[in-house]
Amino acid sequence: MMKRLVSVLALCLLLGTGPAQSGVTLESFKFDTPSEELHFKKLIEEIRCLVCQNQSLVDSDAELAHDLRAEVYAMVQDGKTDAEIIDFLVARYGDFVLYNPPVKPSTYLIWFGPFALLLVAAFLLLRAVRRQKNPTAHEITPAERARLDTILGETRPEQDKQQ
């Protein structure tokens, strides 16, 4: 029994480490100076992976991210400026490729959408709280009271009937 448990645990450990090690492989690019490498890494941190969408090119292991890193590396080696590289990527993939897209009519939803949703949610919450605070109490007529008493089979004290 103990050997079987150890075998199962060993198998789980082996299966669990496979994907973690395979995700670590990034291309190794050659740079002339450490500042050039730092510049490249800073640039690809600002660019979003189009496949993963919540990761930068630095973090992503998608095939497209590998290709984009190689493309950015080639442009950096050709001496292109950050603005030229970013303009090229935006022209090719749209503003979504940037983690901080510019504020313009096509990106208003990205920039102001969360605030608009927050305002709508606050308005709906306030309206619900106000409705709960002021419940409308309806008075019943003497005829409805009498009918209710007969249905419930209760007799009310004389004091209540006089009111």
pLDDT digits (tens, 9 = 90+) for 87-124: 999 999 888 888 888 888 988 888 899 999 999 999 99
Residue 9 domain-assigned?
no
Looking at the structure, do residues 75 and 110 belong to the same domain, yes or no?
A: no
Looking at the structure, do residues 95 and 109 belong to the same domain, yes or no?
A: no
The alpha carbon of 155 is separated from its chain's Cα centroid by a whole number of angstroms, namely 61
Q: For the residues 41-57, what does the mean pLDDT come to?
A: 87
Looking at the structure, do residues 129 and 90 belong to the same domain, yes or no?
A: no
Q: Number of folded domains in the chain?
A: 2
C-alpha span between 8 and 12 (Å, rounded): 6
Q: For the residues 152-158, what does the mean pLDDT come to?
A: 68
Tell the residue number behind the tokens 């095939």, with chain if given: 63
Please give the residue range of the domain that contains residue 91: 28-101
